[in-house]
Structure 1
């Protein structure tokens, strides 16, 4: 028997990818409100996982429109036509075992709050958890997984912290999560085989109807099961991308291309365009590390370099060279704007990372082909849950359900 899964805020399917690989789960539906990630997810379900009717199982819809999401919709100018979740659940025997997903993190992120003059307090994304829980309440899965950034632990859009509001709403609908989220649910995914430092809050919610002692069950999952799926040795950046073909700057630009393309064709391993100025900056920064000079180690030195080369001033350093023998820094959606904080460590290449390199640092298999624009691909990869972690999570949850459910 396989567990039936609904995937919310699915993106391009990073979280679902691990569950499919674990082979103990069948997907009922994936819901995503942006078109490009869903195009990629649908293609992946069809080509790699051989999911029948993948088109019907991939719902393009804003989760806030819950009635449409449940009952279906027709001829929407943005979201087209679909039969809705109720029909899909009915076709799968009316049983949902697990709901997975995490709302967009911008409203909870500390960096996002720092940039917003109102501290993100008026951002609607603060309350997307309410729509998530409406789906949980309707289909009553045995458990759910709610993933988000560490900033959710301190986010306070009103009088209460977001986590307090989530806890109260979850209790109202007959579920339980631990209040000890900082200790139990805050994880560094580099401990689970992901070649980047990526801290995330992974909240397990359990249906009280299925567990004699919900708090004990949740603690057992974190303290006794999930810890066994950690990887003993961390994967470095070079472990992940060191074997990829090198891409060198061209002496002359050709058709808006600044770098060579590899003779060995690897999907999505294409360099983005960089102008001559930026290529030289990237080379200088990487060479500074290679030679052990460390002239540009401080933020102040990087800001001065930025001013000298561009004529502009900044208080936030814009450059970062990735370190070969450490896990990467966190891959983020901002990669779709530029790659200045993701500079390749080899000075001879003088560039930022490719879509394939970003995907590998997020632990996507090379068999996952990203088929939309380069900018969209960077964005969805940065927003994704790393499949290597989600695979280990899925294995842990399968064991948890077998051992604890009454």
Structure 2
């Protein structure tokens, strides 16, 4: 197995994909040596997943794991035998660290010890995605006019990734970030070009050939847009566009032919991802809207108006593919999980539930997600500028469309679910953690630790594991070629 080290690991999306790559009958291509992550709940998620991974790879009894994630037994009955042993071992693979200059000595020491246990000259891979808040379009928008933005340390956390490259010289690396990186600037400098320049001048002198995973071009011919991976083109039921760099150490680059991802035969839709989950409805929260109106009457009147609209012709916006859907289903489902965990909706205010129900009816009638300005005025949100021309975020309530991939699942889903409204009228509510996880391609046997808000946050911050698995297949093939 090829050693793997994961930086800025989040809940383990990249790691899950790479760790699922097989190299023959009963063999796995990668062994995770260490995952580094700052968030306490994400570390708990990573540790639990390492426990499951150890149990399945060693052929041990996994019933304790499923008892835990499905809530069938108390911890005192679960934490024994094979489960307890595997959980104890997992602590040596997950490290809660705030990556930065202060943590470098500890992190370097851990990595050095891990690599020393491998065969001398072993080829290995470094994966990870430095935090993206400083590069995302939303993050930049929120800090318009902020004089401290240019010096925000989040701009430069990628240097911790580059430090590991320089110090330990992995054979291959995979670095993921948001699409906004391509347009982000620090002062007058392009952050993307700055990162490429820093990669070409690592202090140790090690050099990497930077490749695209989507186009077969010489590195010198690559444009920034050639590094964008559109997840929906690779069997992920979500329009998630990310910048991913594949770096190959220059001394072995000639031994590794360029490889690119194979596009799926079509798209996997929201319907194919979540329609089979049990139908659930949301409770109402105690928070009352300022305007005291008869919400039931307002909803009834709005639905009567919707019924008068001319229905749109049914249009499937993207080509669907049966092979892609079957591959997705095989990846997601586990025969041990008959009723997936973490599928409880959060409560909503009555006013929002009414808006959701009317908007799902509108979406069905219009054949697309409406804007909140399409709602009757009585159902408009209580904002002073809601009816003004040029009001931003008129799509702040978004019904997801059944027969297309979803919009991007982002960490903001942890704050509210307005952008992720279930398309079925009878369920009109925001997505559950499990539905968000399905759209991110986390298997049904993947469990997220912490309160529901933190579970959402982890899901939104992750790399889709099914996409990561396809990248891992490429990296394993490349490393095998050098090893052979």
Q: What is aligned with 1:392?
A: 470
| TM-score (norm: length of structure 1) | 0.85
* 1:101–1:275 CA distance, 2 compared to 1 (3 A): same
The answer to whether the aligner puts 1:91 opposite 2:163 as a matched pair is no
Any unmatched runs of 5+ in structure 2? 22-27, 58-85, 211-218, 287-337, 387-391
Structure 2 residue aligned with 1:202, among 244, 251, 263? 244
Distance 1:382 1:306 in 2: 32
Aligned counterpart for 1:172 among listed residues 201, 224, 227: 201
Partner of residue 352, structure 1: 430
SS of corresponding position for 2:127: strand
In structure 1, the residue matched to 2:93 is 57
The TM-score normalised by the length of structure 2 is: 0.72
Contact 1:193 1:235 in 2 (8 A): yes
Contact 1:89 1:96 in 2 (8 A): no
Distance 2:367 2:94 in 1: 51
Say yes or no: does 1:7 pair with 2:81.
no
Instruction: Supply the distance in 1 between the matched residues of 2:282 and 2:158 (Cα, whole angstroms).
Output: 46
Matched with 1:20 is: 19
CA shift for structure 1 position 310: 2.7
- Which residues of 2 match residues 145-160 of structure 1 at below 5 A? 145-160=174-189
**Is 1:67 aligned to residue 67 of structure 2?**
no
For 2:483 and 2:227, the matched residues in 1 are separated by 20
Distance between the aligned counterparts of 2:248 and 2:378, measured in 1?
A: 50
Query: Where in structure 2 are the equivalents of 1:249-260 lying within 5 Å?
Result: 249=282
* Equivalent position of 1:43 in the other structure: 48
Per the alignment, in what secondary structure is the counterpart of residue 30 of structure 1? strand
1:291 corresponds in structure 2 to 365
Residue pair 2:436, 2:459 contacting (<8 A) in 1 also: yes
Deviations 1:75-98 (A, max 9, x none): xxxxxxxxx222222233464611
Which of 118, 124, 133 is 2:153 aligned to? 124
Aligned-partner Cα distance in 2 for 1:15–1:293: 34
Residues 206-217 of structure 1 mapped to structure 2, 5 A cutoff: 206-212=248-254
- In 2 relative to 1, CA 274–171 (structure 1 residues): closer, same or farther, beyond 3 Å? same
Matched residue of 1:148: which SS? strand
Aligned-partner Cα distance in 1 for 2:36–2:208: 22
2:374 counterpart residue number: 301
- Cα pair distance change 1:275/1:17, threshold 3 Å: same
1:225-246 Cα shifts (integer Å, max 9, x gaps): 3232x21111000100000011
* Structure 2 Cα separation of the partners of residues 46 and 308 of structure 1: 48
SS at match of 1:194: coil
Q: How many residues align?
A: 373
Q: Could you tell me which residue of structure 1 aligns to residue 273 of structure 2?
A: 240
Q: Name which of structure 1's ranges 38-47 and 311-320 shifts more when overlaid on structure 2.
A: 311-320
How far did residue 161 of structure 1 move?
Answer: 1.4
What do residues 293-322 of structure 1 show as CA deviations (whole Å, max 9, x unaligned)?
A: 87x7346436x7597343543532220000
- Distance change >3 Å, CA 305–CA 380, structure 1 → 2: farther
Counting strand residues as a fraction of each chain, which structure ranks higher? Answer: 1
Aligned to 2:25: none
Deviation per CA, 1:265-318, whole angstroms, max 9, x where unpaired?
420000101121111110010011223387x7346436x759734354353222
Equivalence for 2:356: 282
RMSD: 2.5
Distance 2:339 2:483 in 1: 48
Q: Secondary structure at the match of 1:59?
A: strand
Specify the SS of the correspondent of 2:244.
Answer: strand
Q: Quick one: distance in 1 between partners of 2:223 and 2:377?
A: 41
Output the CA distance in 2 between the equivalents of 1:3 and 1:306. 60
2:133 is aligned with 1:106 = yes
Distance 1:126 1:307, change over 3 A: farther
Distance change >3 Å, CA 358–CA 195, structure 1 → 2:
same
- Displacement after TM superposition at 1:132 (Å): 0.5
Matched with 1:372 is 450
Return the alpha-carbon distance in structure 2 between the equivalents of residues 312 and 273 of structure 1: 25
Looking at structure 2, the residues matched to 141 and 234 of structure 1 have their Cα atoms a distance apart, in angstroms, of 34
Contact 1:100 1:145 in 2 (8 A): yes
